[in-house]
Amino acid sequence: MEFDALLLLSFGGPEAPEHVMPFLENVTQGRGIPRERLASVAEHYLHFGGVSPINAINRALIRAIEAEIDLPVYFGNRNWAPYVEDTVASMRDNGIRRAAVFATSAWGGYSSCTQYVEDIARARTAAGDGAPELVRLRQYYDHPLFVEMFTEAIGAAAQTVPDGARLVFTAHSIPLAARSRCGPDLYSRQVAHASRLVATAAGYDDYDQVWQSRSGPPQVPWLEPDVADHLTALAEGGTKAVIVCPIGFVADHIEVVWDLDYELRQQAEKLGIAFARAATPNADPRFAGLVVDLIDELRTGREPVRVAGPDMPALQGFSVDGVVCTPNCG
């Protein structure tokens, strides 16, 4: 399978204070979220000047990819400019016929995978006749470079806290009602598998894996334990230092820089716990290499490279033109 472009597809984020509320309205469209709740979340972004880190990180990642690949790289978002619909229209106008699509989520499940497939379908429909064929690259939570980057980040974080720090992996929680929407416990099994791979590579036999950043009404159950509740439990059990690894995030989303670096760090200080947060891949050149490797899998037809381990989830295949590949999830 040959390509004449790459599309980096991401969530999007505001880049000025006046963008924050319109961005949050885009994210929550049709969900009936009260405006006062949006205003509360907006404060997280306004704490950083109304700018999410994510677009700048993605642009830096694109530059790193361009240094390694012989294809033009386009950038499109779901919830903020550059919108994927506009980007795909530009690709059409530039004569792009088939493009690989790299989504900035390593995981399966609805919000982590299927929504990106829906973005692809919507953008092609908006572009109309002449829209390029868009081939979404596979999930990559167990790619050797993914494991290597988080393993190295844990090692660097461990240098900043006392010996014996408790290792805690965290990922974005989802409602229990959605946990098997795209395969039985698919997302949580993948997160557990990746956490085990990284912990083993980093030399940890014992660690915790928790969830964070839940939203919505408190009566709706989400994956637990929550990272903040878990930190309190660790303190009550005598833990004196923690290393928090945001395994569920490939970049410094607001859920990382606010929920972990700001709120959780403050909580750790109040509890008397030394706190270190492991870095995310962001625009690491190895992350760019991971993208190129996923493209090469399809260009050459070779077997995907994965880190093997016990209870290894089934390989998630790519999808073409917004066709949901749920039947292949397992």
Q: Which of 277, 297, 316 is the last residue in one of the domains? A: 277
Work out the pLDDT band at 13, boundaries 50, 70, 90. very high
Higher-pLDDT residue of 170, 308: 170
Mean pLDDT across 151-160: 98
Phi/psi at 102 (5° precision):
-105, 115
Residue-level length of the chain: 330
Work out the pLDDT band at 217, boundaries 50, 70, 90. confident
Q: Which of 260, 277, 294 is the last residue in one of the domains? A: 277
- Whether the model clears a pTM of 0.75, i.e. scores above it, the answer is yes
Q: How many domains does the chain fold into?
A: 2
Mean pLDDT across 58-75: 97
Which amino acid does the sequence have at 4?
A: D
**212 and 85 housed in the same domain:** no
**10 and 130 housed in the same domain:** yes
Phi/psi at 212 (5° precision):
-155, 170
Whichever domain contains 192, its CATH number is 3.40.50.1400
Phi/psi at 8 (5° precision):
-90, 115
In the three-class reduction of DSSP (H, G, I as helix; E, B as strand; rest coil), residue 108 is classed as coil
**219 and 239 housed in the same domain:** yes
**166 and 273 housed in the same domain:** yes
Work out the pLDDT band at 317, boundaries 50, 70, 90. low
**314 and 296 housed in the same domain:** yes
Res 329 pLDDT > 60: no
Work out the pLDDT band at 325, boundaries 50, 70, 90. low
Work out the pLDDT band at 132, boundaries 50, 70, 90. very high
Domain hosting residue 43, numbered range: 5-140+284-328
**185 and 74 housed in the same domain:** no
Residues 146, 8, 286: CA angle, nearest 5 degrees: 30
**72 and 130 housed in the same domain:** yes
Structural tokens at position 139: 């999930």
**128 and 158 housed in the same domain:** no
**314 and 271 housed in the same domain:** no
Give the helix ranges, DSSP H, for the chain: 20-27, 35-46, 54-66, 84-93, 115-127, 144-158, 186-202, 227-236, 254-257, 265-271, 285-300
